[in-house]
Amino acid sequence: METVSENRACGGVQGVYNHLSQTCRCEMTFGLFLPEEAKFGQIPLLWFLSGLTCTHENAMVKAGAQQWAAEQGIALVFPDTSPRGDQVADDEEYDLGKGAGFYINATQSPWMPHYNMWDYIAEDLPSLLQENFPLDMSRQSITGHSMGGHGALTLAMGIPKRFRSVSAFAPIANPTATEWGRKQFNAYLGDDKAAWAAHDATLLMKDKGFDGPLLVDTGTDDQFIDLLRPEALAQAANSRRQEAILRMQKGYDHSYFFVSTFMEDHISFHAEALYAD
């Protein structure tokens, strides 16, 4: 692992690091914010998964999360959203290929050898973080924006007991129910509908739910709301009596202005779960 940069921020350190990912078979970059408490012992970790076109950097500089993480003594990790490098397949569209990994292990060509973002977030990066930083991996929670909200929800439900709480900002909540979502799933997973179901938050909610608290915010003026389908997730979550706070925020859109507005709420929400017991 190589240090790209470290900046003092909110009493702690905002770092950016490079490493060779075994699962993605390429160099990957991530951001990690460690509050001051990390000097004195192991601290809880909150994952922030980003949306389409983002790298590790967007949320790190625009979501305003560090100040609240510092207040709560929680570390923040900002992974990239896809494999990177010249050898990695790409597509001209913004919603496929680089910047659009969808937190899936691809089974189809040309995506298959590198696009293993599920395993990257679930196994590769956690091992690296545990080895190199003072993190209490028994206390993890996860959040994300848009495609990253989809990733947060599917990973939280797909790996039981890993995360204590899950939240999402404007998540892609039911991709198998839109033509747009089916396009991505077809590309990465082919026609395997069982594989699709494992990466659809609404279907996972119907099937198994999440063993912990859930918070979702979506803006009423989100320009992509028809692709997100918050109503499908809400119906599934309420139908199974999932512990949940599902909010539609009047007048907000899909931007980071929306994300940063509600970041304090999300980090407080996760802190409560991370510091329980």
Binding site for a second copy (CB under 8 A): 7-11, 14, 61-62, 64, 66-67, 219, 221, 251-253, 255-258, 260-261, 264
Min separation Cβ 264 and a second copy, Å: 8
The residue (of 124 and 217) whose beta carbon lies closer to a second copy is 217
The residue (of 21 and 58) whose beta carbon lies closer to a second copy is 58
Q: Which residues are marked as active site? A: 146, 222, 254
- Phi (first) and psi of residue 65, to 5 degrees: -85, -25
Residues in Cβ contact with 194 at an 8 Å cutoff, skipping those fewer than 6 apart: none
Min separation Cβ 183 and a second copy, Å: 27
The residue (of 41 and 251) whose beta carbon lies closer to a second copy is 251
The residue (of 35 and 97) whose beta carbon lies closer to a second copy is 35
Min separation Cβ 62 and a second copy, Å: 5
- Phi (first) and psi of residue 119, to 5 degrees: -65, -30
Strand ranges (E), the chain: 2-9, 12-21, 26-34, 43-49, 75-79, 135-144, 166-169, 214-219, 244-249
State the Cα–Cα distance between residues 110 and 122, nearest whole angstrom: 22
Other Cβ atoms within 10 Å of 112 Cβ, number = 13
Q: Find out whether 47 and 18 touch, Cβ atoms under 8 Å.
A: no
Min separation Cβ 211 and a second copy, Å: 32
